Structures are given as structure tokens and as C-alpha cells.
Amino acid sequence: MTRDLPRRLRRACAAVAAACVTAGALVACGPAAVRADDVNALRSVSDHLDASASAVATARLAVRARATGRLPSVTADATVAEAAETATGAVHGIGTLTVAGQDAAGAREKALDAASGAVGPIAAVRTWLGGSPSAPDDVLRALDDAATALDDADRMVRRTTGEVAP
Amino acid sequence: MSRRLLVVALGVLTAIGGFVDAGDLVTNAVVGSRFGLSLVWVVAVGVVGICVFAHMSGKVAAVSGRATFEIIRERLGPTAAGLNLLASLAVTVLTLVAEVGGIALALQLASSVDHRLWVPVAALALWLVLWRVKFSVMENAAGLLGLALVGFAVAVFLLGPDWAELGAQVAQRSAATETGATYWYFAVALFGAAMTPYEVFFFSSGGVEEGWGTKDLATSRLNVLVGFPLGGLLSVAIAASAAVVLLPAGIAVDSMAQLTLPVAQAGGTLLVAVVIVGLVAATSGAAIETTLSTGYTLAQYLGWSWGKFRRPAEAPRFHLAMIVALVVAVGVLMTNVDPIAVTEYSVVFSAVALPLTYVPILVVANDPEYMGEHVNGRVMNFLGTVYLVILVVAAVAAIPLMIVTEAGG
Amino acid sequence: MIASDLLDVRVLDAGGTPVGWVVDLRFVLDGPPDGRLAGARLHGLVVSPRTRSSFLGYERSRVRHPWPIAPLVRRRHRGTFLAHWEDVARVPDRDDGTDPEREPVVVLQVGYTRYTAGL
């Protein structure tokens, strides 16, 4: 079997494998390696805040659709479950970043608070979905507050990186 | 006569339903929610490309009665064909992982059972279908049920968007909140999703399975030229529904569940149910096609007997290869990797592998010894060469863009 | 001997000057019937002067498409010729290649003829 595979093919296989490993290593190391300084770290914080805000908006749309009877409750639950995963992922992402400067640390702190604060309201949506039908006002208000906090935190992070004027 | 018409209609319908797979679903939704319709032109470029190459490989199958990969091995020799095999097999297995994950995610939407639990069930069901069900039955069933994705187009119309604004998005070349590199990264991803290599191998091997001859050329051409563009329109509808509802809400799609939100807003529970059927059917159909493609490419390269038209006992290694592919897919998904992330990677790596899989088809379609009078004409060769350039550019740009944008960030 | 003992092997003329690599073997089907087909007989070696990479089948026909692959492959392989099997003086030994000093080579006869490789 290996005998009639030409040598060149075997060499080519080895080359392709080596290229894959190299590419894999680059992809794996890439994100960690470039986030060395604070600005990059804060950009990453901002990305996580975006993800968190997206999760909150997803939960809000799901609640609205469910409240008007437009979304089956299993589908709504699956949607919000995924949103909860995204929101906790963002907290994890922000929490494991390190920053050196005082300002950057302050911005990171605020971002972490806002991101953590978004997890609760999203989890509460799943409770609301599972419970007996009731008006979604409280759930929606909590989500709105979370969204506002995320927005403020993001603005502060961007001010710190100099992306938006103070 | 009417029976003939029925066969043609069935072919076109299955081509529409079969065009969209997990890669198209996810990539179009992500792109729609982040870039609006500003990348629709890539879908158009991709659809023309898949039409060109699927038509070529369908023609090779119909004229020679043999699948493309057998001829590639014979014509290009074991080395060049071996590279081709490695590239397409790797990408096809990665695509299979994405499809099985897609089935699981879609089933979760209808059941609230976690998608990780659905993975082995879905794989087992796929294997049973591949083992027992006739080729034409599984093709037509998946394709026709996949048509339920038309629900996305219905949703776009029910949402009653500002058409002028959507039109303006089509003309845009970027989005305010995204960088240029990200834009081009997703352009490559969308191109890879539209032109996924397995589609062409599947199309030509399927032609052999169904016993195409020269007289079926017209049918094949119609399936390709009508079915695939309409399938492309479904892709655009998915992007549009995300652009209308999710983009203004600040939602960047990162799960399959989010695809149902615009549909719910537009058409309510019933339309959501229809779309979920479409999601399950489209990913299942694509999973069947990718599993078969791994068997086809391996068996055709190594000279094993292959095909669903043979009983499993007559093509044991072909069936074994498919089982191994399914086991690999389940194994990868059991590592708790995010199926959506796998899908995003699969379309980009598809783009990388595109030249290796499509160039040999172009070479074979030009060989009069196989093709006789049906050898490629000027127009097909011109299009083929144009796409050759696009394929190489996309393939070369894919990995650097992935690194620069941290896979789309 | 099997085909891969010859493929990819360097070709020298009788004086020891390299003339290229074996890129393909050409057979004719004119032997005594073996089953339903005539038995295959080795007719000659296709020798390419510049490269040992594959001809991708382009030696068999006058196909010029698709551009730019066909012209590029033809350019890489220009000067390719067919050496008849009778013109081959020496083929690689069984233990050639085990010793790094002894690269497996094909040596052609004095005054061998270069036939055109096209079909």
C-alpha cells in the first residue's frame, strides 16, 4: 500500500501536515500574543462588552417575541440559553485579561461589573420563560438596565483607549 | 412527458433545497447581522462559480459515465490527485463536523434538549439513512424539506423592510463599525461557504449514482443553472432577515437560535416551525452529502468499489470510510467545541482548499479523450479561467486575513 | 521490478551526462492475450529534461486549455522525449538508493534516439 504511493506524494503529505501544524500554532498563539499591552487588552474588553450587549439584545428580542406569542417557548429557551453562554463567556474573557495601568484597570473593573451584571437578567429570562405566563415588564426592565450599564462601560473603555474623545 | 417534467422539477427543487448548508446558514446570518447586505455581491460571485464548476463536473459524469475523482486520478497521476484528495477530504470532514453540529443545534431549537446530547443521536440516524435508504429517496426528501427555508424569504417580505435602505446596503463596501480586514475576511468566508468543495464531488458522483448519460445533460444543466441561483437567493434572504432585525438591535449572530428571531417577529410560531424544519433538513441533507463525499473521494482515488447503488456488502470499504468520517465528526463535537465556530472555520478552510479541488475539474473538462465533442467551449473556459484567478486570490488571502482579524473578531 | 522503481529516477546518457528524469512509462497492448485484453508490454520511458513533476496528462494530447495551466505545464516540460525500452542500457538495482553514494539511475545506450513524446 505505502509502496506504490510515490515518494513525492509522501513528501507532499508531510509538507501539508507541517503547514497545517504551523498554521494551527499561529492561529492558536495569535490572539494571546498581540494582547500584550493595555490598549490591545482594552480593545479586547470592548469586544467582549459588544458580545455581552449582543446577548442582552438577543434575550430582549426573545422575550418580546415570546410575550406576543410569536416564538415557541422551547425555541425561546434555546435562544436565551445560548445568550447566557455568550454573556458568561464575556465575563470570563474580561476577567482573565490583565492590564498594567491605573486607568486601564479602572475601565476593566467597570467593564467586568457591567458584564457580570448582564448575566443575571438573562438568566432571569429563562426563569420567566419556564414560569406561568406573566407580563414581561420586570424582565425587560432588568435587561434594559443591563444594556445601559454595558453601554456606559464600553464608552469608558473607549475613552481610556483614546478611541472616543473624553 | 409529464413524468419527465416531474423529474426535472424535482431536480430543480432539490438543488434549491440542497444548496444551503450549515456553512451558508451561519455565515450569511453572521454577515447579515454585522455587515447588512453589503456582502451580497460575494454570494452572487460564489453562485456563478459553483454553477460553472458543478456544471463542468456534471458534464464529465454524464459524458464519461465516471465520477470526476476517478478521472482526476487517472489523468493527473497519483501525486497531483493525492494532494487534491488530501485537501478536499480534510475540508469535507471539517464540513461534516459543522453539519452534524448544525443538525444538533437545529434540533435543540425544537426540543430544548441540549445540542451536545443530540450529536450522537444525529450521527446514528445519519448512518442508518446512509446504510438503508435509497440514494434518490434521501436526496429528494432532504432537498424538498430543505425548501422550507423559503420561510426566511417570506419573513423578509412580512417584515416589510425599507427596500431603498436595503438597496443602499447592497451598494455599500463596508460597515461603519467593522474594519476593512474583517470585511474581506467575511467576503472570503462567504465565498468559501457558497463554493464548498464537497458540492461538486457530490454532484458528479450523484450523477453516476443516478446513471446519467449524455441525454441527461440538459437536465443537469437546468438543475444547476436554475436550482443553485435560487438556492443562492435563499442565502441572501437569510442575510437580509438578519440585516433587517438583528443589525439594528446590535446583535452579532453567534448561535443558530438567533436565526429564528427575525422569523418570529415576521411570521410568528408557525413560520418559526417551518424554518426549524428547513434548518434540520438542510443540515441533515448536507451531512448526508458530506459523508457520502468522504466515501466517494477516498474510494474513487483508491479504486475501491463505491456507490449507494451497490449493496453495502458490495462496497464495504466505501461504507467503512463513511462510518469512520461520522465517528470522527462525533468525536470532534464531543470535545465541547462550539459548532458555530467549527462552521466558521470550515468555510474559511474551504476557501483555502478551493483551487486544489476545482482546478483538476477544469483540466479534465478540457480533455477531449474523456469529453469527446462535449469538451469545454470558449465561454466555459473563459469563466473557468476567471474563477481560477478568484479562487487563488481567495485561497492565498484566507489564512493571513484570519490571523489579522483574529478569525473575524 | 515495479513501475515506481523507474518513475522519478534520474536519466543519464551513456557518457554519464544527466538528460532528465523519468516522468512516465509508456506501454503498448500487443502481448499475448491476458484474459480479454492483450498483455501490456513496456514500450519506453518518457524523459523530461527540466523537472520530475507530473505532466498532468498533457503529453497525451494537443490540448491547450485551460489557460494558464496548460501552457505552464508544457513550458516546464519542453524538450520531453520518449526513449524506447531497447535504448535503455541500465535500470536501477535492487540495492540502489540504500547507499547514499549510489543514487538510482537509468542509463541510456550510446546513440539512443529521442522520439517525440506526444501521442
Query: A137: domain CATH number?
Result: 1.20.120
- Per the DSSP assignment, residues forming a β-bridge with B175 are none
Domain count, chain A: 2
Q: Kindly tell me the burial class for residue A58, based on how many C-beta atoms sit within 10 Å of its own C-beta (0-12, 13-18, 19 or more).
A: buried
Whether A60 and A116 map to the same domain: the answer is yes
Inter-chain residue contact B80 with C66, CB threshold 8 Å: no
Provide mean pLDDT across the span A87-95: 95
- DSSP state, B149? G
Whether A24 and A43 map to the same domain: the answer is no
Assess if residue B242 is contained within a domain. Answer: yes
Question: Strand, coil or helix: what is C10?
Answer: strand
Confidence class for position A18, pLDDT limits 50, 70, 90: low
Cα gap B281→B11, rounded to integer Å: 16
Kindly list the partner chains of chain A, i.e. chains with 3 or more CB atom pairs below 8 Å: B, C
Assess if residue A112 is contained within a domain. Answer: yes
Assess if residue B387 is contained within a domain. Answer: yes
Whether A64 and A141 map to the same domain: the answer is yes
Confidence class for position A108, pLDDT limits 50, 70, 90: very high
What residues contact residue B168 under an 8 Å CB cut-off, 6+ apart? none
Assess if residue B3 is contained within a domain. Answer: no
Inter-chain residue contact B251 with A30, CB threshold 8 Å: no
Q: Residue B319's CB: how many other CB atoms inside 10 A?
A: 21
Inter-chain residue contact B82 with A69, CB threshold 8 Å: no
Q: Could you write out the DSSP letters of every residue in A28-92?
A: HHHHHHH--SHHHHHHHHHHHHHHHHHHHHHHHHHHHHHHTT-S-HHHHHHHHHHHHHHHHHHHH
Domain count, chain B: 1
Q: How far is C14 from chain A (nearest CA, A)?
A: 27
Inter-chain residue contact B376 with C65, CB threshold 8 Å: yes
Assess if residue A91 is contained within a domain. Answer: yes
Whether A43 and A28 map to the same domain: the answer is no
How high is the pLDDT of residue A24? 56
Whether residue A44 has pLDDT greater than 80: yes
Per-residue pLDDT 10s for chain B (409 aa) are: 566 777 777 777 777 777 889 999 999 999 999 999 999 999 999 999 999 998 888 888 888 888 878 888 888 888 888 888 998 899 999 999 999 999 999 999 999 788 999 999 999 999 999 998 888 888 888 888 888 999 999 999 999 999 999 999 888 876 666 778 999 999 999 999 998 888 888 888 888 888 888 888 888 888 888 888 988 999 999 999 999 999 999 999 999 999 999 999 999 999 999 999 999 999 999 999 999 999 999 998 998 888 888 888 889 999 999 999 999 999 999 998 999 999 999 999 999 988 888 888 888 888 888 888 888 888 999 999 999 999 999 999 999 999 998 888 7
Question: A137 touching C, CB under 8 A?
Answer: no
Whether A66 and A98 map to the same domain: the answer is yes
- DSSP state, B253? P
B346 backbone dihedrals φ, ψ, rounded to 5°: -60, -40
Contact C23, C46 (CB under 8 A): yes
B366 closest CB neighbour out of C53, C60, C66: C66
- Per the DSSP assignment, residues forming a β-bridge with C21 are C10, C48
Assess if residue B339 is contained within a domain. Answer: yes
Task: Please state which of the ranges A66-80, A145-159, B354-368 shows the lowest mean pLDDT.
Answer: B354-368
Whether residue C9 has pLDDT greater than 70: yes
**Residues in chain C within 8 Å Cβ distance of A2:** none
Question: C63 touching B, CB under 8 A?
Answer: yes
How high is the pLDDT of residue B153? 95
Assess if residue A149 is contained within a domain. Answer: yes
Assess if residue A12 is contained within a domain. Answer: yes
**Predicted ipTM?**
0.88
- Per the DSSP assignment, residues forming a β-bridge with C42 are C27
Whether A144 and A94 map to the same domain: the answer is yes
Assess if residue A29 is contained within a domain. Answer: yes
Provide mean pLDDT across the span C29-35: 75
Whether residue A8 has pLDDT greater than 70: no
Between residues C99 and B305, which one has the greater pLDDT?
A: B305
B362 closest CB neighbour out of C54, C61, C66: C66
Contact B140, A106 (CB under 8 A): no
Tell the residue number behind the cell numbers 506524494, with chain if given: A9
Domain that holds residue B398: 18-404
C42, C27, C118, C112: which is closest to C80 by C-alpha? C118
What residues contact residue A78 under an 8 Å CB cut-off, 6+ apart? B108, B109, B112, B257
Assess if residue B5 is contained within a domain. Answer: no
Residues of A with a Cβ under 8 Å from any B Cβ are: 5-6, 8-9, 12-13, 16, 23, 26-27, 30-31, 47, 50-51, 53-54, 57-58, 60-62, 64-65, 69-72, 74-75, 77-79, 81-83, 85-86
Whether residue A4 has pLDDT greater than 50: no
Domain that holds residue A151: 36-161
What residues contact residue B56 under an 8 Å CB cut-off, 6+ apart? B361, B362, B365, B376, B380, B384
Nearest CA in chain B to C59: B75
Domains of chain C: 3-116 (2.30.30.240)
**Residues in chain A within 8 Å Cβ distance of C3:** 4
Question: C1 touching A, CB under 8 A?
Answer: no
Whether A132 and A73 map to the same domain: the answer is yes
Cα gap C47→C4, rounded to integer Å: 15
Assess if residue A82 is contained within a domain. Answer: yes
pLDDT digits over C72-95, tens only?
A: 888 888 888 888 988 888 887 766
How high is the pLDDT of residue A80? 95
Cα gap B24→B29, rounded to integer Å: 8
Contact A81, A46 (CB under 8 A): no
* Residue A85, amino acid: E
B79 closest CB neighbour out of A12, A16, A70: A12
Whether A43 and A75 map to the same domain: the answer is yes
A26 closest CB neighbour out of B82, B108, B403: B403
Inter-chain residue contact C4 with A8, CB threshold 8 Å: no
Sheet (strand C105-108) strand order: C88-90, C105-108, C10-12, C18-34, C37-48, C81-84, C115-116
Whether A51 and A61 map to the same domain: the answer is yes
B250 backbone dihedrals φ, ψ, rounded to 5°: 75, 25
How high is the pLDDT of residue A32? 38
Whether A61 and A118 map to the same domain: the answer is yes
Provide mean pLDDT across the span A69-81: 94
Whether A40 and A79 map to the same domain: the answer is yes
Whether A78 and A47 map to the same domain: the answer is yes
Q: What are the C-alpha distances in Å from B238 to residues A40, A157, B38? A: 33, 33, 14
Assess if residue B122 is contained within a domain. Answer: yes
Task: Select the highest-mean-pLDDT range: A83-97, B351-365, C30-44, C94-108.
Answer: A83-97
Assess if residue A166 is contained within a domain. Answer: no
B326, B38, B359: which is closest to B187 by C-alpha? B38
Domain at B228, CATH number:
1.20.1740.10
| Partner C, chain B 52-91, Cβ-Cβ below 8 Å | 75-77, 79-80
Assess if residue A136 is contained within a domain. Answer: yes
B261, B299, B331: which is closest to B100 by C-alpha? B331
- Per the DSSP assignment, residues forming a β-bridge with C116 are C81
* Residue A49, amino acid: L
Provide mean pLDDT across the span C20-42: 81
Task: Select the highest-mean-pLDDT range: A97-101, A117-121, C27-31.
Answer: A117-121
**Residues in chain A within 8 Å Cβ distance of B254:** 51, 54, 82, 86
Q: What are the C-alpha distances in Å from B218 to residues A124, B200, B226, C25, C59? A: 58, 17, 12, 39, 32
